[in-house]
């Protein structure tokens, strides 16, 4: 039923640079779509435009075929007629109303009979496990509790689309984890279309069915989370999604650059002229003596080993591959980070052999766009 | 051809889109209407007054040697260069500057030292002093002038002599009238400005800065002179300019104390020009007052901007720091109480005594009387032949005051919040900026000049707008416009604090505009709204300089009634009316603070 479609939507505030530029985005019905991007990239603006609180300077927005905004055709449906729910980053509860009255507000507006209203309020509060606070005022609740009330307030009116603006950013780590699970459960139960804004890639990865990555007001990629992770559309997405971030190796004069160029020359010589940089995820770098023949193999000296409990993050600096005996002062070759899930025996200064399987090299061209790679052809050793 | 047509169609689309947004959201429309109305009410009077200054007025055709309505520099010549210009303009200008400097000094010395005592020392009765020392500002400014006359008046002017003369002490003219008493009386009225502004700044200053100086070996007074005072410079210059601006537009005190010796200030000179129907001259003087007022505010903002490098207030080190006064503690307390006695107790007591004694200063049984309050008939007072509480005059005036000020205050409160609403809702847009500036404009113009300008504008019918002179509506409008900067400023800050999200949440929930305003905005903003009504009400009750120009005998207010009685030289009754105003405005202020828990400082607009 209600796909949310944004067509060529642009928005600029006053004379400043555009907050959103030519955004084309379809949020599939029933999806849990996450708008992901660094702070200031236009996520909130996009969300508010969908809600009707900001007005695009160009383009059109429609939900389920119903046009809500069309600058060209002069159509505008005000927020109060859009039947959406929006949870604000700072909750925006009404301080003069009790929790129950806050939740009841939307139902009163819809002139629902009192009996039914009370029932719905109770349901919504129970669903968010905040029914015990029904008679309190928002100021008497903690941030996490206000968050639940603010969700309950929107759930009560059963909106077609639920919009959430960084709903977890003001919560502490423990609560955040709980609310993530809760939101996912909520989505599974109601099947509502949810659009969720965050700058935290982990949040996007863990919760969303679809991720739309934005940067400087421009859509970078819209795909399933694992797709975004595995096949980032460009350097920005590659670098933004994943923690620790992807290693980006310029094909320049650096040691790793030279190393990886040699590897590409061996495997995909036809692509080499187009490649400007190569991305390698930290968890794709293995410390291993042996492996498949088409692996990119390089010698490296260990900089630091940082155990995190479940894994080890290791910084390594490639030494020259041709002359393994040469000592490896850190002379400008960028350090690479790798994540290992097995105990790293090596200590600072040790020499190790690193391997990256050919499929794990992300190639980016001069503009930073991903270079599609057909499955690598078998290479003779 | 299509290449040209394409963008045009798109512009048309954008316009249509905008229109449909505006239709759904009355904010923009509301803002536009507000801007237009306010622009008219603020700018049109100023234009009218300027054009009056350059046009021959009816009745002046002969003197100016040109037909009425033709362009002339006659009034400029008359005010600046003619034989009467000394009397009309130059003397009043010099007097105004003299008085302003004097008042600023008095206010600075009294207010500054009291602020330091109360916020930085262990003076006794701090709580009492911090409230009591503000009371002079709650009294109408010319209360002090009337009290002064009751004490020091000699037989030069008509009416009853003062208490000192009655005791046989001759008071020279310079002590009884003119520059000295005007300066002292206004100084006593305005020192609370400095007291409050300074007190605030002193409390918020980072005490670590002073501690550092002490650690480096500076003595207490060196610290005061070399560290504290320089840090206070922004507050100081602000207070001085604020007081200066007020002096420019103050009317009551110079009128009461200056008139007997023809000591005129710009405000009183303007008043007599208006009263004598010299519209052209009045317009020129108004223009000058406006120019000086604008200059003062511009200098102030300039200084404040330059001094932002001194911004050291706030921060972690900001805390209450009270240095012990040692042996000086009780003398200092005495000084503080002394200021209170001189500025409040003595004037009020003197006024009260004069209203119940036949011969001033004689406190024998037979000399006391209540006739000035309640007598059915008073001999020798043909203009006001009964006690103040008898006859209808006081009640009519009180009713008028309450009605006019009440309506104006209500409108001010609502308008302030509306302006705040539009500014915040359209935040960042041009409309928001324009609205902010328009509402601030009246701040540049001293009230008395505004009144004169309104007189120019509304004396005759202009287009669809009728001549409003002599009507209560005109008084209401003037009071609203002159209070607009304070109202809108507090409205904006109240709405800023709320932000737009609470309303937007209601909007997303499906609530229409009226519903949102009724169920979300108003209930949340109840407190600020009450304060926004009460503050202009309190200051409006005491207002004289603005309304004196615009009232006629038909539209007497409490304040103008009191000045009228002064004109008749019925000093006891004038004193009685001022006492009534003082009591009412003191109670109203007290109530306001109780009800809205706002500080008085916000009502000062400082
Ligand atoms: N009301 C506004 N007025 C002017 N600029 C704004 C406004 N809201 C957002 N912006 C600007 O638009 C850009 C995008 O903002 P926003 O959508 O809030 O980013 P995000 O939510 O991704 O952090 C930012 O550069 C921000 O400064
Ligand atoms: Mg945001």
Mean pLDDT value across residues B44-72? 77
Shared domain check, A158 and A199: yes
| Helix ranges, B55-90 (H) | 61-64, 74-80, 85
CB neighbour class for A114 (10 Å; exposed up to 12, middle 13-18, buried from 19): exposed
Nearest to B208 by CA among B227, B232, B190: B227
Distance of alpha carbon A103 from alpha carbon A109, whole angstroms = 11
pLDDT at A222 over 80: yes
| Domain B399-599 is found in CATH 1.10.3720.10 | yes
**Residue B603: predicted pLDDT:** 37
* A225 and A282 both lie in a single domain: no
Residue A235 pLDDT grade (very low, low, confident, very high; cuts 50, 70, 90): very high
Residue-wise pLDDT tens digits, A309-345: 889 999 998 886 544 444 444 455 568 899 999 888 8
Looking at the predicted structure, is the pLDDT value of residue B4 above 50?
Answer: no
**Does A280 share its domain with A338?**
yes
| CB neighbour burial string for A262-289, b if at least 16 within 10 angstroms, e if fewer | ebbeebbeeeeeebbbbbbbbbbbbbee
Residues A210 and A283 in one domain: no
Is residue A30 in a domain?
A: yes
- Output the pLDDT for position B433: 86
Asked whether residue B526 carries a pLDDT value surpassing 70, the answer given is yes
Higher pLDDT, B322 or B198: B198
H or E stretch covering A211: strand A210-215
- Contact status, residue A50 vs residue A84, Cβ threshold 8 Å: yes
Confidence band of B165 (pLDDT split at 50, 70, 90):
confident
- Encoded tokens for A190: 């109601």
Spatial strand order of the sheet with A18-27 comes to A18-27, A4-12, A58-63, A66-70, A75-76
pLDDT in tens, B415-429: 999 999 999 888 778
Q: What is the CATH number of the domain that holds A307?
A: 2.40.50.100
Least CB–CB distance from A74: residue in B20, B505, B520: B20
Write out pLDDT tens, residues A134-152.
999 999 998 889 988 999 9
- CB nearest to B20's CB, from A51, A75, A90: A75
Which CATH number applies to B82-368: 1.20.1740.10, 3.40.50.300, 1.10.150.530, 1.10.3720.10? Answer: 1.10.3720.10
Same domain, A252 and A330: yes
How much of chain B, in percent, has pLDDT values that exceed 70? 92
Instruction: State residue B595 phi and psi, 5-degree precision.
Output: -70, -45
A88 vs B505: CB contact, 8 Å cut-off? Answer: yes
Kindly state whether residues A83 and A192 are assigned to the same domain.
yes
Closest residue in A to B504 (Cα) is: A53
Q: pLDDT digits over A292-314, tens only?
A: 888 888 888 898 888 888 899 99
Residue B367: predicted pLDDT: 74
Out of A218, A240, A262, a domain closes at A240
- A148, A79 Cβ separation under 8 angstroms: no
- Residue B189 and residue B136 in contact, taking contact as beta carbons nearer than 8 Å: yes
- DSSP track, B138-174: HS-TTHHHHHHHHHH--TTSSS---HHHHTTPPPPHH
Question: What per-residue confidence (pLDDT) applies to A55?
Answer: 92
pLDDT score for B314: 46
pLDDT of the residue at B321 = 63
**What is the Cα Rg of chain A in Å?**
25
Assess if residue A376 is contained within a domain: no
Give the pLDDT confidence score for residue A162 in this predicted structure. Answer: 93
Q: Ligand 1 pocket, A43 CB below 6 A?
A: yes
| pLDDT attached to residue A87 | 93
Q: What's the pLDDT tens digit per position in A210-219?
A: 999 999 999 9
Pocket test for ligand 1, best of B27, B423, B424, B428 (most atoms within 8 A of CB): B428
Tell whether A371 is covered by a domain: no
Kindly give the distance from the C-alpha atom of residue A42 to the centroid of ligand 1, in angstroms, as a whole number: 6
**Within the 78-117 window of chain A, which residues sit less than 8 Å (CB to CB) from chain B?**
78-86, 88, 90, 92-96, 105-106, 109-110
Read off the pLDDT band of B134 (50, 70, 90). confident
Interface of B with A (CB under 8 A): 10, 13-21, 24-25, 428-430, 499, 501-502, 504-512, 515, 519-520, 523-524
Mean pLDDT of B214-231: 74
Confirm whether A201 is domain-assigned. Answer: yes
Query: Span A349-363, mean pLDDT?
Result: 89
| Segment B389-399, tens digit of pLDDT | 777 788 888 88
What is the band of B194 on the pLDDT scale with cuts at 50, 70, 90? confident
Contacts of B497 in chain A (CB under 8 A): none
Quote the pLDDT of residue A333.
56
Regarding whether A126 and A255 lie in a shared domain, the answer is: no
Weakest-pLDDT range from B171-180, B347-356, B375-384, B497-506 = B375-384
Q: How many residues does chain A have?
A: 381
Q: Inter-chain contact B510–A53, Cβ cutoff 8 Å?
A: no
pLDDT, tens digit, 9 for 90 and up, residues A13-36:
877 888 999 999 999 999 999 999
pLDDT of residue B316: 44
Note whether residue A378 is domain-resident: no
Are residues A235 and A251 both part of a single domain?
Answer: no
> Does residue A115 register a pLDDT over 90?
yes
Same domain, A185 and A331: no
Instruction: Determine the pLDDT at residue B606.
Output: 29
B25-40, pLDDT tens digit by residue?
A: 888 889 999 999 988 8
Q: Where in chain B is the domain with CATH 1.10.3720.10?
A: 82-368, 399-599
| Of residues A326 and B296, more confidently modeled | B296
Q: Are A154 and A102 found together in one domain?
A: yes
A159 is a domain residue = yes
Does A275 map to a domain? yes
In this prediction, residue A30 carries a pLDDT of: 92
> Whose alpha carbon is nearest atom 17 of ligand 1?
A42
Query: A80 and B508: CB-CB below 8 Å?
Result: yes
Surface of A (259-298) touching B: CB under 8 A: none
Residue A187 domain flag:
yes
Structural domain that includes position A106: 4-240
**β-pair partners for B83:** none
User: Who wins on pLDDT, A270 or A1?
Assistant: A270
Q: Looking at the structure, tell me whether residues A225 and A284 fall in a common domain.
A: no
> Mean pLDDT across the stretch A158-171?
88
Which residue would you say has higher pLDDT here, A10 or B593? A10
Taking CA atoms only, the protein residue closest to ligand 1 atom 4 is A13
Asked whether residue B347 carries a pLDDT value surpassing 60, the answer given is yes
Q: Do residue B17 and residue A70 have CB atoms under 8 angstroms apart?
A: yes
- Which pLDDT score, from 0 to 100, does residue B256 have? 87
**How many domains is chain A built from?**
2
Are A287 and A165 in a shared domain? Answer: no
How do residues B442-487 score in pLDDT, each as one tens digit?
887 888 888 888 888 877 777 777 777 777 888 898 899 988 888 8
Q: What is the mean pLDDT of residues B358-373?
A: 75
Which chain A residues are Cβ-neighbours of B505 within 8 angstroms?
86, 88, 92-94, 153
Q: Give the gap in angstroms from C-alpha A116 to the nearest C-alpha of chain B.
A: 17
- Does A244 sit behind a cis peptide bond, omega within 30 degrees of 0 on the bond before it? yes
């Amino acid at each position: 039923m209600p796909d949310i479609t944004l067509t060529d939507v642009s928005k600029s505030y006053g004379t400043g640079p555009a907050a959103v530029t030519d955004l084309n985005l379809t949020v599939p019905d029933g999806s849990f779509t996450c708008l992901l991007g660094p702070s200031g990239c236009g996520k909130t603006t996009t969300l508010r435009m969908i809600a009707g609180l900001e007005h695009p300077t160009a383009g059109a927005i429609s939900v389920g075929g119903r046009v809500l905004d069309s600058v060209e055709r002069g159509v505008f449906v005000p927020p109060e007629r859009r039947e959406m729910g929006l949870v604000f980053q700072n909750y925006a509860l009404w301080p003069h109303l009790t929790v129950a009255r806050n939740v009841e507000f939307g139902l009163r507006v819809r002139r629902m009979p009192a009996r039914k209203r009370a029932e719905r309020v109770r349901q919504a509060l129970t669903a968010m496990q905040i029914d015990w606070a029904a008679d309190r005022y928002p100021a008497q609740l903690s941030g996490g509790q206000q968050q639940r009330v603010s969700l309950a307030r929107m759930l009560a009116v059963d909106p077609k689309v639920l919009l959430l603006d960084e709903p977890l950013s003001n919560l502490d780590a423990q609560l955040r984890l709980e609310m993530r699970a809760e939101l996912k459960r909520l989505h599974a139960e109601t099947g509502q279309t949810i659009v969720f804004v965050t700058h935290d890639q982990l949040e996007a990865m863990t919760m969303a069915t679809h991720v739309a990555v934005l940067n400087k007001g421009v859509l970078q990629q819209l795909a399933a989370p694992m797709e975004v992770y595995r096949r980032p559309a460009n350097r920005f997405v590659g670098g933004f999604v994943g923690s620790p971030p992807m290693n980006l190796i310029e094909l320049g004069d650096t040691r790793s650059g030279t190393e990886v160029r040699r590897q590409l020359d061996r495997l995909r010589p036809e692509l080499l002229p187009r490649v400007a940089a190569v991305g390698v995820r930290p968890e794709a770098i293995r410390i291993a003596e042996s492996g498949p023949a088409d692996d990119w193999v390089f010698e490296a000296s260990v900089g630091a080993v940082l155990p995190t409990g479940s894994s080890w993050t290791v910084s390594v600096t490639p030494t020259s591959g041709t002359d393994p005996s040469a000592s490896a002062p850190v002379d400008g070759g960028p350090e690479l980070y790798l994540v290992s899930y097995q105990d790293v025996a090596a200590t600072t200064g040790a020499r190790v052999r690193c391997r990256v399987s050919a499929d794990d090299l992300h190639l980016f061209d001069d503009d930073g766009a991903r270079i599609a790679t057909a499955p690598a052809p078998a290479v003779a050793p | 051809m299509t290449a040209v047509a394409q963008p045009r169609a798109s512009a048309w689309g954008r316009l249509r889109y905008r229109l449909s947004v505006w239709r759904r959201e009355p904010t923009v429309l509301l803002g536009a209407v507000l801007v237009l109305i306010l622009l008219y009410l603020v700018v049109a009077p100023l234009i009218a007054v300027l054009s009056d200054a350059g046009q021959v007025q009816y009745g002046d055709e002969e003197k100016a040697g040109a037909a009425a309505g033709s362009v002339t520099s006659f009034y400029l010549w008359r005010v600046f260069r003619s034989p009467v210009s000394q009397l009309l303009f130059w003397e009043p200008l010099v007097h105004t500057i003299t008085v302003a400097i004097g008042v600023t000094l008095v206010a600075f010395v009294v207010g500054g030292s009291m602020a330091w005592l109360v916020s930085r020392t262990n003076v006794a009765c701090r709580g009492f002093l911090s409230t009591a020392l503000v009371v002079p500002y709650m009294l109408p400014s010319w209360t002090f002038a009337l009290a002064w006359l009751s004490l020091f008046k000699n037989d030069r002017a008509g009416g009853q002599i003062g208490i000192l003369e009655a005791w046989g002490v001759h008071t020279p003219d310079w002590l009884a009238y003119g520059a000295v008493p005007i300066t002292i009386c206004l100084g006593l009225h305005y020192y609370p400005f400095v007291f409050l502004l300074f007190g605030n700044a002193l409390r918020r200053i980072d005490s670590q800065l002073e501690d550092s100086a002490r650690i480096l070996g500076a003595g207490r007074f060196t610290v005061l002179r070399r560290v504290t005072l320089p840090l206070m410079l922004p507050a100081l210059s602000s207070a001085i300019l604020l007081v200066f601006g007020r002096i420019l537009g103050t009317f009551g005190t110079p009128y009461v104390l200056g008139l007997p010796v023809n000591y005129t200030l710009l405000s009183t000179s303007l008043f007599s020009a208006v009263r004598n129907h010299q519209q052209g001259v009045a317009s020129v003087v108004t223009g000058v007052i406006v120019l000086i007022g604008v200059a003062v505010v511009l200098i102030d903002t300039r200084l404040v901007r330059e001094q932002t490098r001194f911004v050291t207030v706030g921060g972690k080190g900001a805390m209450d720091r009270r240095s012990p006064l040692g042996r000086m503690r009780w003398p200092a307390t005495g000084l503080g109480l002394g200021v209170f006695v001189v500025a409040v107790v003595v004037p009020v007591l003197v006024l009260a005594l004069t209203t119940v004694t036949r011969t001033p200063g004689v406190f024998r049984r037979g000399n006391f009387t209540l006739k000035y309050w309640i007598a059915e008939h008073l001999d020798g007072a043909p203009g006001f032949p009964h006690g103040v509480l008898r006859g209808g005059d006081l009640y009519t005036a009180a009713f008028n005051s309450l009605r006019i000020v009440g309506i104006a205050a209500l409108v001010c409160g609502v308008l302030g919040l509306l302006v705040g609403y539009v500014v915040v809702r359209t935040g960042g847009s041009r409309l928001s900026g324009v609205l902010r500036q328009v509402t601030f404009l009246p701040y540049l113009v001293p009230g008395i000049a505004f009144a004169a300008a309104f007189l120019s504008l509304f004396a005759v019918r202009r287009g669809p707008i009728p001549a409003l002179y002599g009507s209560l509506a005109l008084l209401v409008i003037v009071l609203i416009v002159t209070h607009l900067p304070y109202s809108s400023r507090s409205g904006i800050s109240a709405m800023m604090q709320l932000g737009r999200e609470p309303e937007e949440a209601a909007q997303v929930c499906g609530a229409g505009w009226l519903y949102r305003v009724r169920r979300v905005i108003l209930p949340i903003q109840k407190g600020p709204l009450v304060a926004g009504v009460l503050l202009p009400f309190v200051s409006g009750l005491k207002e004289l300089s603005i309304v004196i120009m615009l009232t006629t005998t038909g539209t007497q207010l409490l304040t103008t009634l009191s000045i009228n009685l002064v004109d008749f030289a019925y000093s006891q009754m004038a004193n009685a009316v001022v006492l009534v105003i003082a009591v009412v405005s003191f109670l109203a202020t007290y109530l306001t603070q109780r009800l809205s828990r706002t500080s008085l400082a916000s009502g000062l607009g400082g």
